[in-house]
Structure 1
Amino acid sequence: MSFLFFALLILASPSTFTDARCDFPAIFNFGDSNSDTGGFWAAFPAQKLPFGMTYFGKPAGRASDGRAAIDFIAQGLGLPFLSPYLQSIGSNFTHGANFATAASTVLLPMTSLFVSGLSPFSLAIQLNQMKEFRSRVLEFSPQGNYYLPPKDIFSKSLYIFDIGQNDFTGRLADIGIPGVKKYLPQVVSTISWTIKEIYNELGGRTFMVFNLAPVGCFPAFLTELPHNTSDLDMYGCMISYNNAVLDYNKMLKDTLSQTRDQLPDATLVYVDTHSVKLELFQHPKDHGFVYGTRACCGEGGGEYNFNPLVFCGNSKEINGKNISTSTCDDPQNYVSWDGIHATEAANKIVAFGILNGSLFDPPFPLSKYCDLHPIG
């Protein structure tokens, strides 16, 4: 049993928690499909089963069979699931808001969703939504029943950034690693600028920024991106693409270190979720999984069970034949849900790593600020 898994088992034990409320009264999240809790599907309603099958029993706006890592983080901090900012019915923003939408990028997309597949809700738009949210809180809270937080919440809240994957992967197949690397410094600088803006304009003081996952291990990219067998490591992941992710992550870490020096009374944490996800892909059986680089929901079977022409939950006529995806009966045995996103089981392990503080640089003991709640 690996040390990481042993640590996660300890964290999962209810005896290590209390029932006290966390000192963070709210979370404001900026991100893409990895942390979207329904924003994209509020704007473009269409999600259907099998998404949400494991926990919610119905589609719930997550790109998974169940909960996303942000759901577990909120639960661990004693907060409810984050309502999507774009969801007009049923939302409660008392404890924060989620501005993430699937297919979002850090940089402003140059084409529409229907051409490129990228969301119009880039990080700049999400920041503008955050500013508008604050204006509304200052205007209306605590008057009326608007499900809004108190006016002084913004300096006390936790701000999370889980975004950048689509900037990295969106054009990989077209322009390759060298082409993508040309604009990655702008991605990093935009994240840094956004943090400073929240610090200066909104009063935010506590920030967590997730790095990028090892995309060279994703079933979708193993199927779609050009490579040869010599580029595969002993775990079946693409070496060149994973090395490019490491280069980006180092750039992000270095930039955040510089940003931290410019914000003396802020806590700015670089969160190495990459290491946990890589561990799950490389050693799935050590963490209770059976399949690493094979999708639970997909089409085509084989090593990856991913067909770029028909995504999870969909059907399509190809060469006169109707092709439909199928879904495994045991998503808890898979790291990858649909070839691009993680299963609930994998998301839970990532969240454990975040809540126990083992992924933070610099070290940031959440237990100093919060009495963590069990997640299950």
Structure 2
Amino acid sequence: MAISLTFIPMLSLFVMLMTCTLHANGCYTSIISFGDSLADTGNLKRSVYRSKSDPPHFLFLPYGETFFHEATGRCSNGRLIIDFIGESLGKLRISPFEKMMQTNNLKDIGQGVNFAVVGATALDSSFHQARGVYNPYTNASLGVQLNCFKKMLASICEPVSEDCKSLLQNSLILMGEIGGNDYNHPIIAGKPFDELKSYVPLIINTIATAINDMIELGAKTLVVPGNLPIGCSTTYLTIYYGSGKEEYDSTTGCLTKLNKFAEYHNEMLQTALHQIRELHPDVNVIYADYYNAAMQFYRSPQQYGFTNGALKACCGGKGPYNYNLQVACGDPSSTTCDDPDTYVNWDGLHLTEAAYRVIYKSLFQGTYTTPQYNSLCPTSTLQSREASSSLAQSS
């Protein structure tokens, strides 16, 4: 069932955001996030319960079991990259947009808002529906999410005013990851790769337009992730199981063609970001290299503590990769591993908290961002233990 973020009356529920101030060390006191299941911290969960539709499998345990000890709407056993970022910036409680709308909890707004929704695409749902591809979860594309933010902002301050600009200048904008589902849904629907390749320029242009819109509103620091190496996804390894030996990377066991496709998307995205930087030299537009940050543990899983490897799902429906399209993680007939920290893959499509932690550290404490995030926020450190209580309250 399609879920839209736009139908809720927003102006009546929002009040002035607390004005954030930039730390002397260059860090931020607010996060504004857009994206899909790699960043959704509870939006789809609240939309589903409000609409009284049948909740999907990831709204139940074992999702969330490792850290939150309950299913929060995150597609993992625990925290996501956005959670680790919030911890590093002083235990920020980044509220899901839907929670803010439903509870009118004004105390959390100043620390940030998350618009990301499980299943979200960069392109509008009408684009995919016209091609016979239907999203089972949401129609909250990047454009829908951005429009929700603009309406919210208009209820807070005069657009492009100094107040609005100050708010955005002091915020870290997370623009995704977004675009992965523009490929995932068509691939699962059986669309040919030649058709998928024609989508890439449209997706990149949509992301670039959203970035430029945020800059026009006053944003000064935006993190824009690329796609993960989808050829290493347990879902696709299962779908294409039995492909010829030449289809696999002998060093990782990943599907070469799919990873090349992800690289193509990322190259085009980086070209677009370079052009945006030239137009806006006073804005920090940071490329987050999810692909190569993740390839570290796909190449050497044991080195990062993933003793059960990088390709087999912790939670799933058995088979060569413990994944079955008909038996989702959480299904009564599915199995869940004893120690998710020893696995990279959680449920076939998503990763474990341990894997997301490695990616986070590589990006925000390492060298996998361009320009390096650490040069802008040098004191960004992981404070997971201290942030436990704060995160649990914001889920």
Shift of 1:20: 9.2
Is the counterpart of residue 204 in structure 1 residue 230 in structure 2? no
Contact 2:30 2:92 (C-alpha < 8 Å) held by counterparts: no
Aligned residues: 338
Contact 1:298 1:338 (C-alpha < 8 Å) held by counterparts: yes
In the other structure, the counterpart of 1:61 is: 73
Is the counterpart of residue 184 in structure 1 residue 188 in structure 2? no
Is the counterpart of residue 306 in structure 1 residue 314 in structure 2? no
Shift of 1:90: 7.7
Of Structure 1 and Structure 2, the greater strand share is in 1
Percent of pairs with identical residues? 32
Q: Choose which of 351, 358, 366 in structure 1 pairs with 2:360.
A: 351
In the other structure, the counterpart of 1:133 is: 152
Q: After TM superposition, list the pairs within 5 Å mapping 1:257-276 onto structure 2.
A: 257-276=274-293
Find the aligned partners of 2:248 and 2:34 in 1 and give their Cα distance: 33
Shift of 1:21: 8.5
Letter in 2 for 1:52: G
Q: Choose which of 216, 231, 234 in structure 2 pairs with 1:216.
A: 231
In the other structure, the counterpart of 1:10 is: none
- CA deviation string 1:104-146 (max 9, x = no partner): 000001349x94325211000010111122122228xxxxxxx
Shift of 1:374: 2.9
- CA deviation string 1:326-363 (max 9, x = no partner): 21110000000101111011111111112214111133
Find the aligned partners of 2:41 and 2:25 in 1 and give their Cα distance: 23
In the other structure, the counterpart of 1:293 is: 311
- Secondary structure at 2:338's aligned position in 1? coil
Q: Choose which of 221, 236, 239 in structure 1 pairs with 2:253.
A: 236
Q: 1:95 to 1:80 in 2, by over 3 A?
A: same
Letter in 1 for 2:47: A
In the other structure, the counterpart of 1:253 is: 270
Q: Choose which of 80, 90, 104 in structure 1 pairs with 2:92.
A: 80
In the other structure, the counterpart of 1:123 is: 142
In the other structure, the counterpart of 1:160 is: 174
- CA deviation string 1:70-117 (max 9, x = no partner): 1001101214231111122385222110000000000001349x9432
Q: 1:198 to 1:65 in 2, by over 3 A?
A: same
Shift of 1:151: 8.2
Find the aligned partners of 1:347 and 1:68 in 2 and give their Cα distance: 6
- Secondary structure at 2:223's aligned position in 1? strand
- Secondary structure at 2:68's aligned position in 1? coil
Q: 1:20 to 1:71 in 2, by over 3 A?
A: farther
Find the aligned partners of 1:364 and 1:292 in 2 and give their Cα distance: 27
Q: 1:21 to 1:39 in 2, by over 3 A?
A: farther
Is the counterpart of residue 283 in structure 1 residue 297 in structure 2? no
- Secondary structure at 2:254's aligned position in 1? coil
Find the aligned partners of 2:290 and 2:380 in 1 and give their Cα distance: 19
Tell me the TM-score normalized by structure 1. Answer: 0.84
Is the counterpart of residue 193 in structure 1 residue 209 in structure 2? yes
Find the aligned partners of 2:302 and 2:192 in 1 and give their Cα distance: 32
Q: CA RMSD in A?
A: 2.4
Is the counterpart of residue 334 in structure 1 residue 317 in structure 2? no
Deviates more, 1:355-364 or 1:280-289: 355-364
Find the aligned partners of 2:275 and 2:165 in 1 and give their Cα distance: 30
Deviates more, 1:262-271 or 1:221-230: 221-230
Shift of 1:312: 0.9
Ranges in structure 2 where 5+ consecutive residues have no aligned partner: 1-22, 50-54, 385-395
Contact 2:314 2:343 (C-alpha < 8 Å) held by counterparts: yes
Find the aligned partners of 1:22 and 1:334 in 2 and give their Cα distance: 35
Tell me the TM-score normalized by structure 2. Answer: 0.80
Deviates more, 1:19-28 or 1:53-62: 19-28
Find the aligned partners of 1:282 and 1:176 in 2 and give their Cα distance: 28
- CA deviation string 1:221-240 (max 9, x = no partner): 11124743320111210011
In the other structure, the counterpart of 1:375 is: 383
In the other structure, the counterpart of 1:39 is: 43
Shift of 1:22: 6.8
In the other structure, the counterpart of 1:28 is: 32
